[in-house]
Amino acid sequence: MKDLCVLLFGAGPMLTKNSRHRAFLMLVVLGQVSFVPIVIFGLTRFIETGWSDGSPFLLFRWDLIPWICSTGIFYGMMSLALAVLMSGWMPAAIALRGGWFAFFGIRGRSRDPRWVDRASTDLSRSPYGRLATLTSRQRDRFELIFIHGGLQMLAIPIQAVLIGLPILTIEYLPEGIIRSGTTLELVSVVYLVSLWIGMRVQAAYSHRLVVPATLARRFLGRTAQMSWVLPVIVYWFIARTVLVSLLSLMSIDLSAQTIEFDILILEEILPVEQASGNTSLIDLIVAMGVLPIATFTTISVLAGGYDVPDWMDPSKLVGNMRDGVLTDGGGEQ
């Protein structure tokens, strides 16, 4: 188990002090890519309310449970993939072998100093590497779970931008620039660019604000019974409610927009009538605005819960330290 965690999260020896918190954060990651998206889609699909013949009704859509679960897992895995790819995730052991291409023999040879220098520098400067290093620095001052909660709070502005920017682009971009029927493509491009930039902006300002944010999260954790998965669900629900209200005030109607590509995949897996459960564009944008950033933050904090190599700290003599690791044969982490 230790070797597996080291390979996955790019860190050194296990620390008994924070081992319980690290194990808990592993469960949080699993929850963020499975339980949370299932609950998110279930909140808007499982319960239906309305009026019929002048009387209110409450309907539980038990027939949509397979669709809700499969769609939640589908978007959860997509969020994990985006978090890993966009954040520059790479175990330190892979960096000391020259990066992914050298490790798999695609480009260069393993442990070539040129590729090692490039890969380790990229890792130390990536959003993942910067948040992991930041967490490692603060680990002696705060408990790991409070650092995680503080960084999740700092991620909220980025999540808000990821939710709002694609919709504003759809509404206000001149019609002559885009072709009819390309809404999904436009949203995808705007979203991916915003996500790539947002992760780097988050890592930049988190270095200045991590201490007050962690103190605030510790205060909330000790004065209120707050779970570590519930805030993501609550924030999604609030964000969706506010977004729907703002769209109504701005006379922007996206209710007719649905995302069909999930149906093309899921209908081949589950014998469910997918037409009854099309994912609305609003639900997709809110979910993909919240989940990848939350997952990226958690895996970065989890990495920082282990011993982060000194050469990952950009404020130190990265090159000399890394060369010393290679010379001493200490790259086997």
pLDDT for position 16: 56
Closest C-alpha among 64, 88, 118 to residue 318 = 118
Cα–Cα separations (whole angstroms), residue 25 to 30, 80, 110, 141, 294: 9, 14, 32, 18, 12
Query: Cβ contacts of residue 72 below 8 Å, gap of 6+?
Result: 34, 36, 37, 38, 39, 40, 41, 42
pLDDT at 231: 65
| pLDDT per position as a tens digit, 4-55 | 454 444 444 444 556 888 888 888 888 888 888 888 778 777 777 777 777 7
Is residue 236 a contact partner of residue 286, using CB atoms and an 8 Å limit? Answer: yes
Rounded Cα distance, 244 and 62, in Å? 25
Give the global pTM: 0.78
pLDDT digits (tens, 9 = 90+) for 203-259: 999 989 999 999 988 887 665 545 555 666 676 677 777 777 766 666 665 555 555
For the chain, the domains span 2-89+126-314, 91-123
